[in-house]
Structure 1
Amino acid sequence: MRQQPWSDAQAEHGRILVLSDNPISQAIASIATAAGRDVLVEAVDDGGEGLEPRAGDAVVLCDHDAPDAPRVLRAALASEAAYVAMMASRRRAAGLLDELVAEGVDVTRLHVPAGHDLGGKGPGEIALSVVAEIVAESYGRPGGPMRG
């Protein structure tokens, strides 16, 4: 009998909440949906009504220049979200991080830049690295090659 390398049993995972709507967030939604995750892309730059992280959710801020980025990050970092990330280089995110730290927000859980270092440059490749990091985190894994 041939063994299958996958399991039909689906683990329970939180949602992936993404702000805002752009090519990277659309690619995240496509890849994460294919991986069996529920995704909410909030198109409104102010965080809209939908970004209320629950335990186990992943929050990805795909636009660090969104008007309500600080509020979204504050709420995500104060929540029981399992993963909180921002698409930006550390240099570009420095001002926002400094603002949050000055307010007393603990940013140690914040993944900046979001994703694994795959070297990709296009929206789909960047999204793949973010979804890979979310999946790895949800299983308590560091990511990286499986070969030993």
Structure 2
Amino acid sequence: MTLSEEASERLADIVELQPTKNRELQERWGMDSGSEVHQYLESELKEYYYRNENSLICATPEATNLIEGEDPDRVQTVTVTALQHAVVDVIAGPDEESQSVVAVLHALRDAGEDPEVDAVRSALRSLADKGIVETVQKTVPTFRLAVERDALDIQTTDD
């Protein structure tokens, strides 16, 4: 998707301010309401942002690459739950065979964690929404990291 100059500038604001709130963007963009910000995000930048667990606006990895350029040495900072952090620690890397939800669950249990399968599934979907994990469709969906572990600076929030 090709962005207009205005959309590119606003995406750069999201990359700079993330995680951010509608109000911060409303003030920066000179809009009348948070609702107007939301409408703009959904109509112009839907592919380039997501809301984290605290409903704050964050740029996807693709958006960050688009704005900052591809830099193999750049470390992406993400804020995740403790379970999501544990998933990143045990899931297959980008060049490895992808894993099913159950395989990730077993890897977590081998690492001393004891989550429910639905919590693991939810964590994988959230990480996929953030561009940290990719979904590989087989008979059942399988997952692996979309980026190298050392390209991430993971900050954990309270669940």
Higher strand share: 2
**Larger Rg over CA atoms:** 2
Whether TM-score is above 0.5 comes out as no
TM-score by length of 2: 0.24
TM-score by length of 1: 0.25
Higher helix share: 2
